[in-house]
Amino acid sequence: MRSEKEQRTGSRERGSVEIQFRECQREQDNVAVNPRHKEEKKEIFTKVVIRRLPPSLSKDQLEEHLSPLPSFDYFEFFPADQSLYPHLFSRAYINFKNPEDIIIFRDRFDGYVFIDNKGQEYPAVVEFAPFQKVSKKKLKKKDAKAGTIEEVTLLSKIYTAES
């Protein structure tokens, strides 16, 4: 048999579980009623990555292999990182303007075998890029303090000459 204290504690625990469950039910009901929560922002993937390219491949050589390319607004090539030996691969990112072009591109280049200058084969892998945003090209502003050391030394010489 349970003591009175255990019975009170047990009922309190059950009561709190029931309350929590009821609150969860209310939240779910509110979500179902409120259509704003139901709407999900559907993102269209337009950026792809071509992986497992030969390490000796250059950007110009890749563009020759891929030509003619459908219209795109972003193309970035990353050569192989030598510190990752023996997993040396280059990769490229392309953001297509038209999502239908991705299917054509994938059918054409997924599994396409690139051959490097040593005759080694590299089957490429085409997939959606995990990060779909495109980086903006930053305009390099001229450094406002560039060349000021010469000006300061010249001014200091003029100042000392006048004194």
Q: Which amino acid type is present at position 71?
A: S
Alpha-carbon gap, residue 49 to 126, rounded angstroms: 6
Q: Report the pLDDT averaged over residues 142-152.
A: 78
- Proportion of the chain above pLDDT 70, given as a percent: 73
Alpha-carbon gap, residue 124 to 110, rounded angstroms: 6
Alpha-carbon gap, residue 162 to 156, rounded angstroms: 10
What does the pLDDT read at residue 49?
95
Residue 24 has pLDDT above 90, yes or no: no
CATH class given for the domain over 47-128: alpha beta
In this structure, the chain runs to a length of 163
Kindly state the tokens that stand for 99. Answer: 């999502």
Kindly state the tokens that stand for 58. Answer: 């250059």
What does the pLDDT read at residue 17?
47
Q: Where are the domains of the chain?
A: 47-128
The answer to whether the CB of 62 falls within 8 A of the CB of 52 is: no
- Proportion of the chain above pLDDT 90, given as a percent: 42
Residue 140 has pLDDT above 90, yes or no: no
